[in-house]
Amino acid sequence: MIPPFYGTKVVTDIKLDDIYPLIDTHALFTGRWQFRRTKASEEAYQEILKQKAWPAFEEWKKRCKDEKILESKVAYGYFDWKVSKMVRWQDGKIAGQQIIPLQLVTVGSKVAEKCAWLFASHKYTDYLFLHGLAVETTEALAEYWHRKILRELNIPFNAGKPLPVGARISPGYPAWPNLADQKELCRLLGSERISVKVSDTYQLDPEYSTSAMIVL
């Protein structure tokens, strides 16, 4: 397997219309926006989604696009596994994997500022809608770029389904418990080029950002 390049690249001309189809609407509606099932019938629940959730989804997607609230940016690259002790796992997750793809995605700081303003202005419903959409768009961007990497490596996948859980792992989660590795990952990718920083507690700033190693 030969990567298209070694080192890193930054991409900023990513269209929201390419990312939006990958948003997990179930996670958005039930988890982020709290349109949860009650004792009502499935038909009644779907009617609630039709009347409230789906129109809000379309409205906020359009607003984010028209007002340029979401700024999709990616830093990614391909590395030899020896480039950093960060990737020398003990559990065999990447055993034998000579190429290490890394990615860092963000939808920028404007959305965080907008969310803060909505909350301070007591516009809690709008805050809930925008915050939830920003979180799930960030995840969709991570999925979108993961697929881009697989295409660059000529690795087939089912475009009709989400990529398998565990194929994209991030610092601070069970598969990669050392959150401090966030700083090394961001250093390797030059995170400052997409205006992402790592805090003293190893959190990404802006908050609507996520990093990952791709398990091939």
Query: 194-210, pLDDT tens digit by residue?
Result: 999 999 999 999 999 99
pLDDT in tens, 91-128: 445 656 778 899 999 999 999 999 999 999 999 999 99
Domain ranges of the chain: 7-214
Q: What's the pTM?
A: 0.93
When pLDDT is cut at 50, 70 and 90, the band that residue 1 belongs to is confident
The CA-atom distances, in angstroms, between 118 and each of 76, 121, 122, 147 are 32, 5, 6, 33
Task: For residues 72 and 169, give the distance between their C-alpha atoms in angstroms, rounded to a whole number.
Answer: 20
- Are β-strands 73-80 and 209-214 bridged in parallel, bridged antiparallel, or unpaired? unpaired
Of all residues in the chain, what percent carry a pLDDT higher than 90?
Answer: 79
Percent of the chain clearing pLDDT 70 (strictly above)? 93
How many Cα neighbours within 13 Å face the side chain of 3? 21
Q: Which amino acid is it at 212? A: A
Which architecture characterizes domain 7-214 according to CATH?
3-Layer(aba) Sandwich (3.40)
pLDDT tens readout for residues 172-191? 988 888 899 999 999 999 99
The predicted structure's pLDDT at residue 90: 39
Quote the pLDDT of residue 95. 56
